Structure 1
Amino acid sequence: MTTLLQINTSLFTDHGQSSQLAERFVRTWRERHPDTALIHRDVAGEPVPHLDAARFSAFTTPVEQRSPEQQAVIDYSDTLIDELQRAEVIVLGLPMYNFGIPSQLKAYFDHIARAGITFRYTAQGSEGLLKNKKAYVFAARGGHYLGTPLDTQTSYVRDFLRFIGIQDVEFVYAEGLAISPDSKTRALEQANDTIARLAA
């Protein structure tokens, strides 16, 4: 049995284009792999708190010195990490807001990057500890940014996932969604064709 973790990050939750692409992939995957177990995480519908000094201090405080409030922060982070550890396949819906990733996704990343748990530092550099996983990223954008300096999303998300050990990362793009109805239709048709191939 395969465990799949679907992470939606759109401000519009299930109604966002990136969420709908991710949902279509998950639905197609489960039709072809009916024994798949699904974990669903919506970081906009149930926002991950943004990192502040108190939360960061909780991550760096030794176990025996943590206050109850700090332990609650750790427990929450542990829940997010446990979902990742259990999943063999990660499906990420990724809208573009003002040339970057949603702040809710950044907050999620800040809670799962834990030294000694999802990565560690060695004499040879950092080593990701979430190994043998596949990630599919469904990037929905109003304009055309792929291959330009304005596409900061692709390198950042790929680099972060690889930092925690997820080396096999595949992006599916739906661009030009806000340019015209025809542009939107073409982009979604192309993305859906790719989804049908990838989920086989």
Structure 2
Amino acid sequence: MNILHLDSAITGEASVSRKLTANIVAKLTAANPGAGVSYRDLNEGVPAIDTNWFHAVRLAPENPSAEQQRLIDISDRYLAEVQQADVLVIGLPIYNFNLTAQLKNWLDQIARAGVSFRYTEAGPEGLLTGKRAVIAYSAAGTPIGSDLDHASGYIRFMLGFLGITDVEFVAADRLAMDREAGLARAQDALDRLAA
């Protein structure tokens, strides 16, 4: 089993989502001692896609410039990590009712027509199949699945669009209202999580 562990919280050691992802990975590796873990902290910076990225990655010139090749290499590296993973453990802290900009940038980097999905006569088809995703959702005031939550449905949709349809959530929500109850809900979900 290969596990890709992704964090994106800006709050460092105080981050609930980082603690949850670490606990999820610990549970998975305890049950699968031979598992390999790759770690990426998206908070260290994920380039946003822009016109230069479009010309380099999407248009895929036959002879890319050095700068275009650098952009291609960055996107390829993110995508290769996902392609090699059997399980993705993703930290999803909620800021302003949505996912972090870094996590959105990462999704933009890996959503590549013809590589991670393709268009068919029947509609789009995800190419990153056979993978499982466990999402560590943390929010001070945004209940998971509520009308205020614009993140959990989006990430589930995006992963499904790319072919990853086995998606589970370990959620610590409403922490500002009742931190102990929110953490208890997350622990209960973690306890029930299949390893």
- Give the equivalent residue in structure 2 for 1:196: 191
Q: What RMSD in Å do the two structures reach over aligned CA positions? A: 1.4
Runs of 5+ unmatched residues, structure 1: none
- Distance in 2, matches of 1:14 and 1:168, equals 29
Distance 2:13 2:113 in 1: 32
Q: CA deviation at 1:33?
A: 1.4
Q: Sort the Cα spacing of 1:15 and 1:39 in 2 relative to 1 into closer, same or farther, 3 A.
A: farther
| Residue identity matched to 1:185 | E
Distance 1:65 1:13 in 2: 41
Q: Aligned partners of 1:168, 1:22: CA distance in 2, in Å?
A: 17
Aligned partner of 2:169 in structure 1 is 171
Letter of the 2:39 counterpart: H
How far residue 199 of structure 1 moved from its aligned partner, in angstroms, is 4.5
Instruction: Please give the TM-score of this superposition, normalised by the length of structure 2.
Output: 0.94
Alpha-carbon separation, structure 1, partners of 2:45 and 2:142: 28
Structure 2 counterpart of 1:108, which letter? W
Which deviates more from structure 2 when the two are superposed, residues 106-115 or residues 189-198?
189-198
- For the pair 1:42 / 2:44, whether they are aligned, the reply is no
Equivalent position to 2:141, from 140, 143, 148? 143
Cα deviation for residue 144 of structure 1 reads 4.0
> Taking structure 1 as the reference length, what is the TM-score of the superposition?
0.92
Between 93-102 and 11-20, the greater mean CA deviation after superposition: 11-20
- Seen in structure 2, the aligned counterparts of structure 1 residues 80 and 147 have a Cα distance that, compared at 3 Å, is closer
The CA deviation string for residues 85-143 of structure 1, in whole angstroms up to 9 with x for no partner, is 11000101100000111001111111101111101111111110000000011110101
Q: Which moved more, 1:115-124 or 1:64-73?
A: 64-73
Q: Does 1:18 align with 2:17?
A: yes
Of residues 83, 86, 89 in structure 2, which corresponds to 1:88? 86
Aligned positions, number: 195
Q: Does 1:53 align with 2:84?
A: no
SS in 1 for 2:137: strand
Aligned mates of 1:161, 1:138 — CA distance in 2: 14
Cα contact 1:4–1:90 (8 A) shared by 2: yes
